[in-house]
Copies of this chain bind each other. A is one copy, B any other.
Amino acid sequence: MRNTACLLVSCPDRKGLVAAIADFLYGHNANILHADQHQDKVFGLFLMRVEWGLDGFELDLDKFDEAFAPIAEQFKMTWRLAMSSVKPRLAIFVSKFDHCLADLLYRHHAGELFCDIPLIVSNHPDNLWLAEAYKIPFIRIAVTKDNKAEVERQQLVLLEEHKIDFIVLARYMQVLSPEFIHRWESRVINIHHSFLPAFHGAKPYQRAFERGVKLIGATSHYVTEALDDGPIIEQDVIRISHRDDQESLIRKGADLEKVVLSRAVKWHIDNRILVYGNKTVVFD
């Protein structure tokens, strides 16, 4: 396991930023393992991710905030500190489709997703067996037309009880309320089964079939109040042909969805994503 810390910064672009951060870290004897930065000229923004080893680092992380505050103020930084040894806590929301859930659980088991998964929430009982195989608690809360608000209330309580850090909608077929989304801003990752913005909304595979496209896609994004319009984290496509009917589009798409979602989840866990405007930077 890596014993590192990672600092994510965004602020108005100006000279001296890299030197100020590098000096601060080196002044506390950090060994910088990786640093990456980006300037967005349209927004006039500087975005940076820097990771360093904690062996020999001479600043107590409890006091990082206080020590870093003068630099952060000087450059008007929005910043966040993350430690690679602290596992974030993930809740997976799922309905009946199991391909994304099975993929996430396998990758978690294989050590690829460095997080805890204390909770799977579903509006159906179908995927209980998968949760059991991987020994993850599975809570079913049936959703009807009439109990949506009540269900969300229960979900919010569960999220708090389990100290959840972020949510993955692994083909969860219920729309979350604006209040829920607002509360969990930039912490809910969804997978949409099209190459957004093409086939925005419902039934993308059917519409792809009807339009006669030669590739189908999938898009993982942070959920915002504007449906299917949040900051895109990752996209990919797969080739199809006239031989593919709607059923095979769904099957090929499922393979793509799980891969695109897993990448987004991994990058989120690895603190490689910075959201700004309605976009993301994914640091290498």
Interface residues, chain A, CB within 8 Å of chain B?
15-20, 22-23, 25-27, 29-41, 56, 98-99, 102, 106, 110, 112, 129-130, 132-133, 195-199, 211-215, 217, 231-237, 241-243, 245, 251, 254, 277-282, 284
- Structural contact, B35 and A37, CB atoms closer than 8 A: yes
Q: Give the number of times this chain occurs in the complex, counting copies.
A: 4
- Structural contact, A235 and B251, CB atoms closer than 8 A: no
**B19, B215, B236: the one within 8 Å of A22 (CB):** B19
- Structural contact, A195 and B215, CB atoms closer than 8 A: yes
- Structural contact, A279 and B35, CB atoms closer than 8 A: no
**B31, B98, B280: the one within 8 Å of A212 (CB):** B280
Among residues of B, the one whose C-beta sits closest to the C-beta of A40 is: B242
Report B-chain residues with C-beta under 8 Å of the C-beta of A251: 112
Complex Cα spacing A214 to B232, Å: 7
Among residues of B, the one whose C-beta sits closest to the C-beta of A284 is: B284
Report B-chain residues with C-beta under 8 Å of the C-beta of A112: 251
Report B-chain residues with C-beta under 8 Å of the C-beta of A243: 38, 284
* List of 3 A-B pairs having minimum Cβ-Cβ separation, nearest first: A133-B133, A19-B26, A212-B279
Complex Cα spacing A141 to B120, Å: 36
Complex Cα spacing A237 to B99, Å: 23
Complex Cα spacing A197 to B34, Å: 30
**B19, B39, B106, B241: the one within 8 Å of A25 (CB):** B19
Complex Cα spacing A211 to B33, Å: 24
Complex Cα spacing A238 to B31, Å: 31
A29, A39, A197: most-surrounded residue (chain B CB, <10 A): A197
A15 to chain B, nearest CB (A): 5
